[in-house]
Amino acid sequence: IMDTSDEWIRERTGIAERRWVEPGTTGAAMAADASRMALEAAHVEAREVDAIVLATLSPDHCFPGTGVFLQRELGLSPVPALDLRAQCSGFLYGLSVADAWIRSGQYRTVLLVGVEIQSTGLDLTTEGRDMAVLFGDGAGAAVLRGSEDTDRGVLSTHLHSQGEHAEILWCDASASYRHPRITAEDLEEGRHYPRMEGKEVFKHAVQRMPEVVGEALDANGLTASDIDLLIPHQANLRISQMVQRRLGLRDDQVFNNIQRYGNTTAATIPIALHEARQQGLVKAGDLICFVGLGSGLNWGAALHRC
């Protein structure tokens, strides 16, 4: 369907497979599946959830956000449902919000979900191949609960943004400051497709991700050798490998599964966390570090003691 090759994609990105939804599958339905799995793994009943945070750049509708549709699917009215737009850093931003809500005592149990349907929004012509080969659909979820045990849980979260780089990875249309928000010309010119200056994004990622991990470690008096598992946002295997090298981490300290899913944006970190747990790589007492960068630019890191 476009001029590319498996070899090019594997070599430049590490991606061998990606999952695309069947037409008609909603983000809310995928989010609900992931939420049920997370609730079961956490031994928490859905009715114990006090608030929902849902991160996505591909909402099912312009408004309202996908969070309320997820809430409806889970039968959780009237708990608050917050949609969060921080793209590839959505899960990290959501983790920070959920952690702050719990620390402040406002909510005890927060359901945090990252979900994306990218496949319906990609330019599948050769012009869009740099983006189209990277992205997949997916959902991942986590349940956060307040505890008196201060040695475990989220140790800290560290977030940053740099709006001056907004256009290096963005989708221009539809745009609410234009009337109509999307025109035939927009569609002809492909302004409704995501566009990216790949090399620029790459450069920022390999600089900012190690930097913000360092910031998180410093804030907790830890060093990179204390990390049992780094779970990076899965954007490109070469980015993860460069971040690993810059932090001086061994292969067994870094989890990657982009090979099978591509970049599922806000869903990559919770999907990776789920698979790392399934593979027995997350044990009690382990220090897990989450890190990511994406459109915004937004980036961040979090440390979690299991």
Closer residue to ligand COA in complex, CB, 9/287: 9
The C-alpha atoms of residue 83 and residue 98 are separated, in whole angstroms, by: 12
Residue 58 or 263: the one with the smaller Cβ distance to ligand COA is: 263
88 in catalytic set: yes
Based on the number of CB atoms within 10 Å of its own CB, is 57 exposed (0-12), middle (13-18) or buried (19 or more)? buried
263 is catalytic: yes
* Helix, strand, coil share of the chain (percent; to 5): 45, 20, 35
- Name the closest residue to ligand COA (Cβ): 198
Which spans in the chain are helix H? 6-13, 27-42, 66-74, 90-104, 129-132, 184-189, 198-219, 237-247, 258-261, 268-278
Determine the number of helices (DSSP H) and then strands (DSSP E) in the chain: 10, 10
Q: Which is nearer to ligand COA, 9 or 42 (CB)?
A: 9
**CA 20, chain centre distance (Å):** 17
Residue number with CB closer to ligand COA (130 or 228): 130
CB of 261 to ligand COA, least distance (A): 13
Q: Which residues bind ligand COA (CB under 6 A)?
A: 4, 8-9, 12-13, 88, 129-130, 133, 196, 198-199, 201-202, 205, 235-236, 239, 263, 294
Q: Do 93 and 86 form a contact (C-beta atoms < 8 A)? A: yes
- 45 DSSP 8-state letter: -
What count of other Cβ atoms lies within 10 Å of the Cβ of residue 33? 15
* Minimum CB–partner distance for residue 88 and ligand COA (Å): 4
- Note if 233 is an active site residue: yes
Give the shortest CB-130-to-ligand COA separation in angstroms.
4
Q: Which lies closer to ligand COA via its Cβ, residue 239 or residue 289? A: 239
Identify which of residues 190 and 198 has a Cβ nearer to ligand COA in the complex: 198
CB of 106 to ligand COA, least distance (A): 30
Of 236, 263, 274, 289, catalytic = 263
List 158, 204, 233, 274, catalytic entry: 233
Minimum CB separation of residue 79 from ligand COA in Å reads: 30
CB of 8 to ligand COA, least distance (A): 4
Six-digit token string for 67: 């969070």
Burial letters 137-150, b for 16+ CB under 10 A, else e: bbbbbbbbbbeeee
Residue at 190: amino acid letter: G
Cα separation, 233 vs 294, in Å, equals: 9
The catalytic residue positions are 88, 233, 263
